[in-house]
């Protein structure tokens, strides 16, 4: 994990999820044809980050990150303002209020 990497201020350290390598119909995509992932798992947050914590999954702006490879692991650095949404995971049935 990013134990030696501590983000400053409003920056977030995350690990991008892998892009799909196969289409829904079963066609394998070459590396250049695969889309750049825009969902990542948050590893650490800077002191000024308010709404995001380690362990969250986030959706971020496509070309707003700084990519970094440290000790063989690839990380992304993204500012909190460039995070578009948090991915919510629901467990069990979804309840609808009337």
Which residues have a Cβ under 8 Å from the Cβ of 43 and sit 6 or more positions away? 1, 2, 5, 13, 14, 15, 54, 75
Quick one: CA dihedral 1, 7, 85, 88, positive or negative?
positive
Q: Which of 28-32, 39-43, 59-63 has the lowest mean pLDDT?
A: 28-32
Contact at 8 Å (CB) between 6 and 75? no
Going by CATH, does the domain composed of 11-86 fall within 3.30.365.10?
Answer: no
- Rounded Cα distance between 38 and 41, Å, is 10
pLDDT at 98 (0 to 100):
47
pLDDT above 70 coverage of the chain, percent: 72
């Amino acid at each position: 994990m990013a134990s030696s990497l501590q983000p400053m201020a409003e920056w977030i350290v995350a690990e991008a999820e892998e892009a799909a390598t196969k289409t829904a119909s079963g066609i394998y995509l070459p590396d250049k044809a695969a889309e750049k992932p825009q969902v990542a798992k948050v590893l650490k947050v800077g002191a000024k980050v308010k709404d995001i914590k380690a362990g969250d999954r986030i959706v971020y702006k496509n070309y707003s990150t700084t990519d970094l490879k440290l000790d063989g692991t690839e990380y992304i650095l993204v500012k909190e303002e460039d995070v578009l949404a948090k991915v919510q995971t629901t467990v069990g049935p979804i309840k609808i209020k009337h």
